[in-house]
Amino acid sequence: MGQASKINVLRLGFVHYKHPDLERINKFLEDFGLIKVSQQGSRIYYCGYGVDPYIYIAEQSPSGTREFVRAAWVVKSAQDLELATAEANASPIQTNDSPGGGQIVNIKDPSNFTVSFIYGQELREKEVQASVARHTTEKSSNEAFTKQRHGDFRRFNKGPSLVHKLGHYGLIVPKGKFREVYDFYISLINLKPSDGVYDPATGEDKTCFIHIDHGAEHTDHHSFFIGWQDESKPAFVHHSSFEVNDYDTQSLGHDWLQSQGWINCWGIGRHVLGSQIFDYW
């Protein structure tokens, strides 16, 4: 799996944001379906029902503005951390003092965002039943030629869409930086392009969706994406995405967020590339 000359990652581990109002973002994230693990000073850690000890860090912003801090990739071995330290602007291997422990290395990408690599965390036991916690029965849905539910009603418990894991995140960079940023990630990590959004005006891809390369093993359509914009605008993180179990769970979470007064950005819908069902908040 992977390539010896690259940092071999297994999956995305977590994203880290700063927020101006920690109490308000805590309310949103819990309504969204994340589970509060612990609070350490100005940081709150959240997990899903998968194996990762946390998948989101919310930190109090001293400047009063919202800010993306970093994303972290879980690596295959301690040797991959050593590879990361060989980068020109890398930190040394450090003890990760967050839930689950482990060791971590931080580097900067060409757009000045921090990328972290983590190894040796103590993982959680995955909570299989949490995937259908909003279902009141275990009956499958009826389909045109498969009728597994005979006379039983489908009923659900209202509440957030419980989150399984971190799905992906993506950068939007000035057009002139696109190739440099793309080459940085593709050459450094075992990542490969899955699909692109072609711009006929320039004859180039405007967005590239990128998956983790595990050889013959199937992985998510994309765990990362890069897009470009006008040169005059600074680089930013477009969004981070989290996986839930099914459409019913997603719909319940959509309704729950609306009932709590949160404003939907876009969705529910289905992406053309990757076919994911999405809901942006």
Confidence of residue 162 (pLDDT cuts 50, 70, 90): very high
**CATH top-level class for 9-124+164-242?**
alpha beta
Residue 1: the pLDDT is 44
Distance CA 187, CA 228 (A): 19
Cβ neighbours of 243 (radius 10 Å): 17
Q: What is the pLDDT of residues 116-130, one digit of tens each?
A: 999 999 999 999 888
pLDDT category at 13 given cuts 50, 70, 90 is very high
**Percentage of residues of the chain with pLDDT beyond 90:** 84
Band of residue 4 on the pLDDT scale cut at 50, 70, 90: low
- pLDDT of residue 79 exceeding 50, the answer is yes
Does residue 219 have a pLDDT over 50? yes
Mean pLDDT over all residues of the chain?
95
pLDDT number for residue 147: 87
- Identify whether 210 is preceded by a cis peptide bond (ω within 30 of 0): no
Residue (of 248, 256, 259, 254) closest to 281 by Cα position:
254
Give the C-alpha separation, 53 to 37, whole Å.
8
Which pTM value belongs to this model?
A: 0.94
CB atoms within 10 A of CB 225: 24
Q: Calculate the alpha carbon distances from 35 to 61, 158, 255 in Å.
A: 21, 16, 19
Asked whether the predicted pLDDT for residue 217 surpasses 90, the reply is: yes
Phi and psi based region of residue 214 (left: phi greater than 0; alpha: psi -120 to 50; beta: remaining): alpha
pLDDT in tens, 171-183: 999 999 999 999 9
For residue 57, what pLDDT band results from cuts at 50, 70 and 90? Answer: very high
Task: State percent of the chain over pLDDT 70.
Answer: 98
